[in-house]
Amino acid sequence: MNDPLFKAHCKDTFPREFAYKPLPGESPLNVVRIRQVNSLDTLTRLIDTFSNRLGLYVSVYAYSTPIKPSRRLIYETAIIDRLYFDFDSKDDLSLAIHETSMVMEALEDSCIESIQYFSGQKGTACYIDFPPTDIAPENKKDVLGLVWDMIKEGMGLQLQTLDGGSVRGDIARVSRLPNTRHQSGLYCIPIEKPELLRGADYIRMLAREPRRDFDLEGRIKENIRSNSATVPGLLKALEMLVIERKEEAEKTKPKPIIRKCQNTKGFVTQEQIQCARSYPISKILGNNKMALCPFHKDVIPSLSLDHKRGLWNCFACNRSGNVIQLVMRLEGLDFKTAVRKLAR
């Protein structure tokens, strides 16, 4: 079956990975991957071969071709030209649809266009397409993870159905191919915004057969043009944040503590500084990964928190630092006073 939606969905860019959900007893794996699909013809043949399986998938990203033909794809070479978010609700498809529409509208408010798919049973998918954006291989997972954090916690939407932490920043992710059948008997199909808003029953009716009336290639190309002014710049800004955090973490690695005599001259010891840096930033700004910035008028949370490293960064006002610098700014303290306060 040579469906134009396959070519459009993959942007005719290869190699990718193909995957299928095996029949009962066929494999111990939840999803079986077939590495290195190098062309649309190969993908189409695989879809035909495994058409009776319980689900057919392709990698969200294309990858650079390995130097050695027999070698597996190197995930760090993923071509970052798409963002993918999966919304699932086992008990209430309407909730997943509602939250998908909320995210879609919030993205539109930020001049970011997206396309939505119905999975065929319990959920929806949101794709954001844009021109390929150059991100260093070692930073790709962290950058995509921060984007997930922004959707999950930075938009003030209190999402319940966004597929979670296990796939945060996953550059090896596969997603369901459009116009392939779910084990429910319904098809995974792209859906227009007005159709999404008509609710679960209408979408299930549309998904009884493959979709032939949706110009997916045209929509993706249109979104790439629209998003070229916003998404690549956002990703590059997030990469700078990732780099800064790594550099800060390197600087703040614990150093051997040299015990000194009782401090009588108003200095703070290295032990006190290390103790202050380990103070949980969550005790000041809460447990979420995104928070309202206390340094400017914030309506949508723009302050990114790295609880593990004790670092913070605001995308809006460009202030950043560690927990000591946070307390210095919040309370107008000098370095020594802030350290003593946190190290108590």
**Is residue 245 within 8 Å of 312, Cβ to Cβ?**
no
**Is residue 52 within 8 Å of 24, Cβ to Cβ?**
no
**Span 153-190, pLDDT tens digits:** 877 788 999 987 667 889 999 999 999 999 999 999 99
Per-residue pLDDT tens digits of the chain, which is 344 residues long: 678 999 999 999 999 999 999 999 999 999 999 988 999 999 999 999 999 998 999 999 999 987 776 567 899 999 999 999 999 998 899 999 999 999 999 999 999 999 999 999 999 999 999 999 999 999 999 999 999 999 988 777 889 999 876 678 899 999 999 999 999 999 999 999 999 999 999 999 999 999 999 999 999 999 999 999 999 999 999 999 999 888 887 776 665 544 444 444 567 888 888 898 999 999 998 888 888 888 877 666 778 888 888 888 887 777 888 999 898 888 888 888 888 899 88
**Is residue 201 within 8 Å of 97, Cβ to Cβ?**
no
**pLDDT for position 299:** 64
Which of these, 5, 52, 60, lies nearest to 219 by C-alpha position? Answer: 5
**Span 48-93, pLDDT tens digits:** 999 999 899 999 999 998 777 656 789 999 999 999 999 999 889 9
Helices (H) and strands (E) in the chain, counts: 12, 12
Please tell me whether the peptide bond between 15 and the residue prior to it is cis, using omega within 30 degrees of 0: yes
Q: Across-strand partners of 304?
A: 290, 313
List, in order of start, the domains of the chain with CATH numbers: 4-233 (3.90.920.10), 256-342 (3.90.580.10)
Radius of gyration of the CA atoms of the chain, in A:
24
Rounded to 5°, the CA angle 64-1-18 comes to 30
257: left (phi over 0), alpha (psi -120 to 50) or beta: beta
**Span 189-205, pLDDT tens digits:** 999 999 999 999 999 99
Beta-carbon count within 10 A of 112 CB: 19
Q: How far, in Å, CA of 70 to CA of 133, rounded?
A: 27
**Is residue 11 within 8 Å of 49, Cβ to Cβ?**
no
